[in-house]
Every structure is written in structure tokens, then in C-alpha cells.
């Protein structure tokens, strides 16, 4: 193994600072890409798709669970897939293991759901065995083929206006590697993280960053942020700005 050179703490920190410049540039580029996603055209979903859930037949609109946005991941768990019937696809299972607590995503008016062609009894058994709590539905029609995920995994994002549903984005192939974190999911949606610093079209819902965060069991819809947390996060933001040489809020 041809390892890198061994250096002093000072040289290591200097090398890190050089790398940090590139990391910050990548972060800014990722923010800009997400801003472009928020300006993608929407595609009206005209077909009435039908799924099966734990309680029976449901529509695509039902998958939103009353929220404004929906992300559907096409997971491969069905006859013919390696691992069946004990397991889902190894790659899809690795992704499911990385899904963050859904309360944070739900707090941004966004639902995540998985969809496969396996019957609900098998999906329930798999979820119990693997410890997954993601809503998981059975595809019954051409949903996967129509949205480009019949032969390979992928995340489709949707938004609704009342009962009208629109497709807003698709992430698949290696793009799925980054999925699982709350931020990655929100960054692919039409509304984004819904925070005031984001470059979003006029009129999009936005609130101050950090303030909407909560413990996953403590979110209350439409409740004001915890005032103590406001103080703590304000102090943290001020410290970061001071460190960056910009003591005033942006």
C-alpha cells in the first residue's frame, strides 16, 4: 500500500485548508444545482395510479399522506430479484438502512415512500425483519415503467396542488448514493429545504434555518419554535459569522 506522506500537525492543517477551499466550492455548486431544480418545469400526472398499502388499495395522491410533497423510491423486492423472498435487493437494502428519521422530512411537509412489486404480506415481513419503518407500497400497474424505474432503482419527486399531482424531479443511478439524509431528500424537491437563505422563486415557503429543527418526537404542526433553541442557534450562527469575519447577519 503506497500511503501518503507523514507530516507535522502544522503541515497537515495547511493541507486541510487547501482541501477545504475545494469542499466549500462543491457545497456552493450543490446549492446552485438545487436552486436550478426548484426552477425545473413540472409534469402533470394525468393517469390514476393504484398501489396496495397495509390497509388496501390507495392512489398516488394517498401516498402524500396529506402533505404537499412526495418522494417515491422504487425498491426492488419481488420474485426474480437476488435475495427474494428473504431479502430485497442488496443495494436497495443498503439505501433503506441509511434513511434518516422521517419526522424531520415530514416537518417540511414532505413524505418519503418506498414502492415494490412484492405483496404487502412480504413487505411487512421484510420491514419487521430489517427494522425499517418507511411507508412501503405495492406497485400494481405501469407506475414504475412510466416514471423510469422499472429496470433500475430511482427516486421520483412529486408535488400536489389540491388533488392535482405533478412530477418535479428524478434522481437515479449513482445519484441515489447521496440519498438517505434529510437534506438530500429536500434538495431534490420542488420546494427545497424551505429556508430563507435558499435561492428560490418568489413566493416559495421559507423560514429561518435551524429554527424549525426539533427532536424527532417533539414536532408539533404549526407550533412556534422552542424559544430556548432560538437563543442557542442564534448564538451558534453569530459565532460562525464571527469566525468567518462577517459578524452581521447576511
Residue-wise pLDDT for 153-181, tens only, equals: 999 999 999 999 999 999 999 999 999 99
Share of the chain above pLDDT 70, in %: 98
Of 42-56, 62-76, 78-92, 233-247, the poorest mean pLDDT is in 233-247
**pLDDT of 250 above 80:** no
Q: In this structure, is residue 49 part of a structural domain?
A: yes
Buried b (16+ CB within 10 A) or exposed e, 181-193: ebbbbbbbbbbbb
Q: Which tens digits make up the pLDDT trace of 102-161?
A: 999 999 999 999 999 999 999 999 999 999 999 999 999 999 999 999 999 999 999 999
Mean pLDDT throughout 7-29?
98
Mean pLDDT throughout 39-64?
98
What integer pLDDT is reported at residue 31 of this predicted model?
Answer: 98
Share of the chain above pLDDT 90, in %: 92
User: Taking the model in full, what pTM does it have?
Assistant: 0.94
Q: Which tens digits make up the pLDDT trace of 68-95?
A: 999 999 999 999 999 999 999 999 999 9
CATH code, domain carrying 90: 3.40.30.10
Q: In this structure, is residue 154 part of a structural domain?
A: yes
Q: In this structure, is residue 198 part of a structural domain?
A: no
Q: In this structure, is residue 70 part of a structural domain?
A: yes
Question: Which pLDDT band holds residue 247 (cuts at 50, 70, 90)?
Answer: low
Q: In this structure, is residue 113 part of a structural domain?
A: yes
Question: Which pLDDT band holds residue 222 (cuts at 50, 70, 90)?
Answer: confident
Q: In this structure, is residue 50 part of a structural domain?
A: yes
- Dihedral sign for Cα 236, 23, 11, 14, please: negative
Domain enclosing residue 179, as ranges = 43-187
Question: Which pLDDT band holds residue 246 (cuts at 50, 70, 90)?
Answer: confident
* Number of domains comprising the chain: 1
What integer pLDDT is reported at residue 18 of this predicted model?
Answer: 97
**pLDDT of 249 above 70:** no
Q: In this structure, is residue 195 part of a structural domain?
A: no
d(CA 202, CA 45): 24
Angle, helices 90-97/120-130, rounded to nearest 10 degrees: 60
Q: In this structure, is residue 156 part of a structural domain?
A: yes
Q: Cell numbers for 140, please give them.
A: 400494481
Q: C-alpha distances in angstroms, 175 versus 72, 108, 126, 188, 196?
A: 15, 22, 25, 11, 26
Q: Cell numbers for 226, please give them.
A: 422552542
Amino acid at each position: 500500500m503506497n500511503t501518503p506522506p507523514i507530516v507535522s500537525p502544522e503541515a497537515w492543517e495547511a493541507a486541510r485548508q487547501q482541501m477545504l477551499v475545494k469542499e466549500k466550492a462543491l457545497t456552493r455548486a450543490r446549492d446552485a444545482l438545487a436552486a436550478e431544480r426548484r426552477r425545473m418545469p413540472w409534469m402533470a400526472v394525468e393517469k390514476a395510479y393504484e398501489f396496495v398499502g397495509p390497509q388496501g388499495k390507495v392512489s398516488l395522491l394517498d401516498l402524500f399522506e396529506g402533505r404537499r410533497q412526495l418522494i417515491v423510491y422504487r425498491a426492488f423486492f419481488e420474485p426474480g430479484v437476488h435475495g427474494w423472498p428473504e431479502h430485497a435487493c442488496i443495494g436497495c437494502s443498503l439505501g433503506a438502512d441509511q434513511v434518516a428519521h422521517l419526522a424531520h422530512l415530514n416537518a417540511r411537509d414532505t413524505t418519503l415512500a418506498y414502492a415494490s412489486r412484492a405483496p404487502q404480506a412480504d413487505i411487512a415481513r421484510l420491514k419487521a425483519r430489517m427494522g425499517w419503518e418507511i411507508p412501503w407500497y405495492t406497485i400494481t400497474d405501469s407506475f414504475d415503467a412510466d416514471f423510469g424505474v422499472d429496470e433500475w432503482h430511482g427516486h421520483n419527486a412529486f408535488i400536489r396542488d389540491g388533488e392535482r399531482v405533478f412530477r418535479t424531479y428524478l434522481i437515479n443511478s449513482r445519484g441515489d448514493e447521496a440519498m438517505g439524509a434529510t437534506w438530500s431528500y429536500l434538495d431534490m424537491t420542488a420546494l427545497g429545504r424551505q429556508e430563507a437563505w435558499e435561492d428560490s422563486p418568489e413566493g416559495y415557503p421559507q423560514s429561518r434555518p435551524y429554527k424549525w429543527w426539533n427532536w424527532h418526537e417533539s414536532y408539533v404542526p404549526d407550533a412556534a419554535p422552542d424559544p430556548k433553541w432560538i437563543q442557542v442557534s442564534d448564538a451558534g450562527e453569530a459565532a460562525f459569522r464571527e469566525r468567518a469575519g462577517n459578524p452581521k447577519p447576511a
